[in-house]
Chains A and B, each alone.
Chain A
C-alpha cells in the first residue's frame, strides 16, 4: 500500500465540477494553501473544476487560499460558521452580488455534522440554535423535558486538508491548533487528500501519537515549509500572482 502522491496537480486531479469539497483549517491554521492553489491552477488551465460547494469554518481572508478560490469564481455555495475575517472582501462582494450562496451553521453543529458524516450517523439532536432563525424548518424534539433541534450529517466528495507528518499508509499528526476540523473532514469525505510537511516511513509516527489513522486518508502529498495564510496576507499576497 502506498498512498503517497508525486505532486500537487496529481493530488487534486480527481476533483470535478459540482462536487462538495471540505477544505480544512480554522482561519489560516490547518488550511491547505498549496492544494487550494493547485486547484486554482487547474481551473485557470482547463476551466475546471467549478460550481463547487465548499465546507470550511470561514470564508477566506485576503486574496490567497479559500479567498482566491472564491475570487476565481469556482465556488457556488459555501457552508460555514463565520464568513468574516480581517479582510473578507472577496467573499463579501461575491455574497452581496448574489454570486455565491451561504449556508450558515453554528460552529459546533458544523463540526458534529461533519463528524456524523464520517461516523455514519445520518442525524442527531442538539440544543444549539433552538428558537433561532438557524433552526427554521428543522424538526424539534423534546428529550427529558428539553427541546432539541435535529441536524443532518454532512459528507463530501473530497476533503483537502493540511497535516504535519504523514506516512504512505495515510497515518497523520497535526501541529498544535492546526488540527481543528481536519481529522473530522478526513472521515467525512469519500476521498481525502492531505498535504503534509514531511512524509515519513511507517513506524516513525509513534502509534500512540497518530491523530488520524490511515483508513480515513486516500492520498498524501509532501509540501515542505507550507505557506501560512496570515504571513501571505501580511505580505499582501494575491493568488494567482499577476504576471508582468
Chain B
C-alpha cells in the first residue's frame, strides 16, 4: 500500500451514491459510488466520453442526478436551501480546463474578483491577499498583465490563484495538464500536491494524463462507460499497470491496464472494432469466401 499522507482522514467530504445520469437516451453515469476523503488527492480518470466531466459537474452541483445522491460536507445538494448552496459553493474552488479568466481584467483583478464579490474585506486586505495568492502560484510579478499576455501554463496558474482566493476546503481540477508542455505540466502537478498538503485541502483531479495521475494521486478512480471500474490506491493502480499478462485475472483488469499503459492494443480497441461496423454498413457479418 502507498503510504497515506498524514493529513488524510477517513471522513468523506464528497459522497456520491448510486449516481445515474442520462442525456436523452444515452446513460452517461450508471450507478456511480465514490467517496472522497478529507485531505486526499483523488484522481478520476477514463477515456473520452467515459463520464468524467459529468461526474465533476455533479460534484460541484452544476448537474442534478436522475437518481442517487451527491453530498458535500455531509449535505445533499438535493435538499440544500439557496443559502446553503451558496455557502457550500464558497467552500470549494474549481480550476477550469481553460483557466476561465476574464479577458478584460488583469490577472490581479481576476484573483480579487471572488474576494470582492463574496466578502466585505477592506481593499488593502484584498490587495495583500491577491499578492499572497499570486505568490502561491509564482505569478506575483505578473499581477498587472492581461490574460492574453500570458502563456497557457501561466493562465492555468492564474486560474488556480483565483480558485484558491476564498481559501476553499475542496479544489476541483478539470484536466489541469491539458494543452501544457511536459515541464509546465510537471510544475502544475507539484503545485497541486503542495496546495493540497500545505493548505490541508481535498483535491479532485479529473484527467486522462497518466504521468500526472501517477505523480499526484493518493487514490484513483477509473471510469468506463459511465461506471466505476475500480477505486484504489495509487500503488494498486501501479501494480495493475506493471502486471504481466499471466497476473491479470479478468477482462476488466486487462482493460484498465491498457488504459494505464496507453497501449494501442487491448480490450478497449477490440470493443471499438467489434461495435457493429458490419451492421452500420448493412452487411451480413460473415466473411466473403
The answer to whether A and B interact is no
Chain A residues near B (Cβ < 8 Å): none
Chain B residues near A (Cβ < 8 Å): none
